[in-house]
Amino acid sequence: MMRRTRTAAAVARTAVVSAVAAALAVTAPCASAQPATVWDIAFDDLSPIDFFASPLVVDGPTLTGFEGPKAIIELTTSVPTPPVVVRYGPYFEAGGVEEPAFRKVAVERAGGDEETWTHHRVAVDFSRLESPLYDETFIPEGGGVVACRIEVLDPEYSAVRTLERRYRYTRSGPPKTGEYRRAETLTLGPFVDLVEPHSFVISWETDGPAPGAVIVGEELYAAPEPATRHEIEVPDREPETKYEYRVRYGTDEAETRAYRATTAPPPGASGFRFGFASDSRAGAGGGEHAIEGVNHACFTDVLHGAVANSIDLLLFGGDLVDGYTSSSDVHERQLDSWKRAASQVGFSLPIYQGVGNHEQVGDYFEVPDPENEGSRIIMFRDRDDPASAESIFSRSFTNPRGSCYGFGVGPETRTASGKIVTGPDYGETVYSFNYGNCHFVSVNSNYWFTGIQMGDRARRYPSDKDGTAVALEVLGGNREGYLLPNQLGWLAEDLKFAQADEDIDWIFLFTHEPAFPNGGHLWDAMFWGDAGKGHEGGLNDPSVPLGDVVDMRNRFWQLLARHDKVVAFLCGDEHNYSRTIVDAEVDPSFTRPVWHIVSGGAGAPFYVQDTSVPWSDKVEAFFPVNHYCTFDVGDDRVSLTVYSTAGVIIDEVPNLAGYAGARAGTRAGGSE
C-alpha cells in the first residue's frame, strides 16, 4: 500500500477534527462568528472515560485483625473469583539483598455453597513461622514482619494474579497461645536516596500515618510529625564512608534491622561503578513476570546481578510499570509494586528513576473515527497538577529537583487555536547531580504526554501518526519523545556548567525515548518513522503539531556533541540492548561522536533489530536479551560491561571515552 502524502494526511486530520466537532454538536460562542476551536472541544465538551481503571483486586489486601494466632487478610475483587491463596514466610538478608522466603500456604475457606465470590477472607496462621526451622527471632521478639504473596485466579483470563505485601504483628505471651495483634508496618523501603559526599536521605512508607526517625550510631533524626511517607536527611557525614542506620517507626517505636548507607565520593574522585537499566514493566510470562504492572522476576534478577557486581548507584530509565490508565489509584499501586521489588536492594543501593511513556496516567476520551465506520479513537492527555503524571511520580520517589548547579526548569506552554495552555511542573523528573567525577542528567522525554491508545472498538494504534496529530490538536499536550523548549534550554545551561566544572570529567545523560531507535520504536521516540522503512526518514513536518521531530532531535544531539565531556546517552523504550556511535557521518552537525546506548532489558517483551534505519552501520552491538549495564569510572577512561540476567557478558568496551568524542580526564574547565 502506498504511503499517504502529507497533503492527504492533513486532509484526513481535518476530517477527524470536523467529525469530532459534529459528533459533539459544538457551536460557536455568541460573541464570535467563527466555529468553535478544537481547544473549546477539548476542554469544554469532551467527557473522560474510564480506561484500564478497574484492576481485579479493587480493595486490600489488608490485615484486618487476628483470630488467635491467625491473621485475617481481606480483599475485594471486581468480579467473583475462586478462593484466594496466601503464601507466607519471613525475610532474610544476605549479600546486600533482602528476599522473602515463602514457607507456608493458607487457602481461603468457602463460607457457603458458592464457588466464587467478591469479598475474600483468608485466615493465615502466623504462629506456624514461630519455629527454629523458619525464623527463631519471632519467638523472643514477640512477633515480626511477615512476607505474603496473595494469589487470585482471574476468571476472565484463566490466569493467576499475584500481589505481594508485608505485615507486622506483635505477640504477648507464648507462641500459639499468646495474644496476637496487628501492628503498624513499614510497607515500602527503607531506601537510600540523594547520596552526597556529606549526607544522604532515607525514605520509607508505612500503612498509615505514623511517627518516624532514622538512627545513625547514637544520633536520632526524627520526622517533625506523623506521616505515611517519610524522607529524612542524615547530614554531617564523611565522604565515601559506610554508615549503619536503623529506621524507627510506629506508635510502638518499632525498629528495623541495621542497614548500611554509603556516602558519595568527594568531588572529582574516580574509581566507582554505576549501573543503568530500563523497562521493567510487566512481561508476557505470567506469574512473577506480571505482579501489579511489574515484571518482578526479571527486575529482581537485574537488581541482584547489579548488587553482585558491586555497583555504587543505579540509574533507571523509565517504563517502570504498565501504566496507561485513567486511574491514579491503579497507577500508584503499580509504582508501589515497583518499589516493593526495589526494596530488596534499595536499603543500600541508591536508585535514580526516570519517566517512561508507560508512566502515563491521565484523562481518556472516545471520539468517532470518520475513516472507520463504527470505530472510535481513544485519545489521552496528562492532567494538571497535582494529579499529573509528573506530580505522582515526584511524590512516589525521592530524586533531585532541577540542576545541581542551582536552577530549575519551568512548565512548558503551547499555543493552540488561539489559546495559551500551560503544562504541569516537571517536578523531580528533570534533574542533574554529581557523583565523584561524573555529572548525571535525567531528561524527561515523556513530559505532558498526549497520544492515542488501543481499545476494543478502536482500529487506530499508537503508531498512527494521523491519529496522534489529531489528539495533539484536540487535547494539546506534548508528543511522545519530544523535548520542548524550556527543557532544552535548561539542559543547555546545565551542560554548560558541568563542562566548566573542574571536578567533572565525564557527563552521562539518561532518559527513556531513544534518539536513534534500532528496533521496536522507529514509529515514535525521537524519530516517528515507519517500522521497516527507516530509510524513508522520520517525521519532520511543521504542518502538524510538534511535527519537527527530526529537527528537534538534531538540536538535542547537537547539544550533546558540543560538550567534549559527554560520553554517552543512555535510554530504554526498545526492549533490547544496542550500542551505537552517533557521529558526523550520521549528521554533519554532530561535531563530536557520542555513544547512544539502549538498555531496555529489565522485563518488558523483546524487540528485534530493525536494520532499515540510516544509521544501522553505526550499530556496534545488538542483543534482544534481559540484561543491565555497568560502567567503571576512572580518571582517564570509562569502561562498559553488559551482563545478561544469566550472568553472561554480552558486550564489553574497555574505554568508551576513547571511542567517543569525550576527552580523557582533563579538568581544564573548557567551553561549549
- pLDDT tens, residue by residue, 349-369: 999 999 999 999 999 998 877
Domains and CATH numbers, the chain: 57-183 (2.60.40), 190-262 (2.60.40.10), 273-659 (3.60.21.10)
Q: What is the 3-state secondary structure (H, E, C) of 500-551?
A: HCCCCCEEEEECCCCCCCCCCCCCCCCCCCCCCCHHHCCCCCCCCCCCCHHH
CA distance 322 to 361: 10
Beta carbons within 8 Å of 456's beta carbon, 6+ residues apart: none
Of 581, 599, 598, give the one whose Cα is nearest residue 660. Answer: 581
Strand, helix or coil at 19?
helix
Cell of 208: 498509615
Residues 573 and 356: beta-carbon distance below 8 Å: yes
Contact 120, 75 (CB under 8 A): yes
pLDDT at 544: 92
Q: In whole angstroms, give the CA distance from residue 552 to residue 396.
A: 30
Distance CA 135, CA 402 (A): 45
Give the pTM. Answer: 0.91
Torsion of CA 202, 206, 211, 213, to 10 degrees: -20
User: How many alpha carbons lie under 13 Å from residue 581 in its C-beta half-sphere?
Assistant: 17
The full 3-state SS of 453-484, as one line of letters, equals: ECCCCCCCCCCCHHHHHHHHHHHCCECCCCCC
Q: Please name which of 359, 335, 309 lies closest in space to residue 628, comparing C-alpha atoms.
A: 309
Amino acid at 155: P
**388-417 tens-digit pLDDT:** 999 999 999 999 999 999 999 999 998 765
Please say whether the beta carbons of 38 and 17 come within 8 A: yes
Write out pLDDT tens, residues 144-182.
999 999 999 999 988 999 999 999 999 999 999 999 999
Grid cell at residue 1: 500500500
Burial 48-61 (b: 16+ CB within 10 A, else e): eeebbbebbbeebb
Mean pLDDT of the chain: 90
Alpha carbon distance 57, 55 (integer Å): 5
pLDDT recorded at residue 135: 86
Q: Are strands 91-94 and 97-100 parallel, antiparallel or unpaired?
A: antiparallel
Side-chain half-sphere exposure of 22, counting CA atoms within 13 A: 9
Which residues are CB-neighbours of 288 under 8 A, at least 6 positions away? 162, 295, 296, 297
CB atoms within 10 A of CB 79: 12
pLDDT, one tens digit per residue, over 529-564 is 999 999 999 999 999 999 999 999 999 999 999 999
- CA dihedral of 104, 110, 116, 119, whole degrees rounded to 10: -80
180, 386 Cβ separation under 8 angstroms: no
**Which set of grid coordinates corresponds to residue 517?**
531507535
How confident is residue 120, by pLDDT bands cut at 50, 70 and 90? very high
Average pLDDT in the 182-201 region? 97
Task: Classify residue 669 as left (phi > 0), alpha (psi -120 to 50) or beta.
Answer: left
Q: What mean pLDDT comes out for the span 36-51? A: 61
How many of the other CB atoms lie within 10 Å of CB of 492? 16
DSSP symbol at 446: T
pLDDT band for 45, please (50, 70, 90 cuts).
low
What is the DSSP annotation of 391-436?
Answer: HHHHHHS----B-TTS---PPPEEEETTEEEE----GGGSEEEEET
pLDDT score of 196 more than 50: yes
122: Cα within 13 Å, side-chain hemisphere: 27
CB atoms under 10 Å from CB of 18, counted, come to 13
